[in-house]
Amino acid sequence: MASSTYTVQGMTCDHCAGAVTSEVTAIPGVTEVAVDVAAGRLTVFSAEPVPDQAVNDAVEEAGYEVVGA
């Protein structure tokens, strides 16, 4: 199992976390998503590594931005 952690700018509530989770979970190969709103962190778990660009695109689709990646 692979995992990657990202810093997401703009998440402030559970609704934000839900939007990000919904978009990132739709990426093929993603098995689990963990969001820590207070820390602004997103952790993506998958059987094989997921391309960073796919995660960036999904986070942007949810209305937020991956920073520092």
Could you read off the pLDDT of 58-67 as tens digits, one per residue? 999 999 999 9
The CATH architecture annotation of domain 2-67 reads 2-Layer Sandwich (3.30)
| Per-residue pLDDT, 59 | 98
Q: Please, which residues have CB within 8 angstroms of residue 58's CB and are 6 or more apart in sequence? A: 20, 23, 24, 26, 27
Strand 65-67 relative to strand 30-36, pairing? unpaired
Burial class (CB in 10 A: 0-12, 13-18, 19+), 11: buried
| Per-residue pLDDT, 8 | 97
Asked whether 4 and 65 are in contact (CB, 8 A), the reply is: no
Q: Where are the alpha helices (DSSP H) in the chain?
A: 14-25, 52-61
Is 80 exceeded by the pLDDT of residue 68? no
Instruction: Give the domain ranges of the chain.
Output: 2-67
Is 60 exceeded by the pLDDT of residue 69? no
Could you read off the pLDDT of 4-57 as tens digits, one per residue? 999 999 999 999 999 999 999 999 999 999 999 999 999 999 999 999 999 999
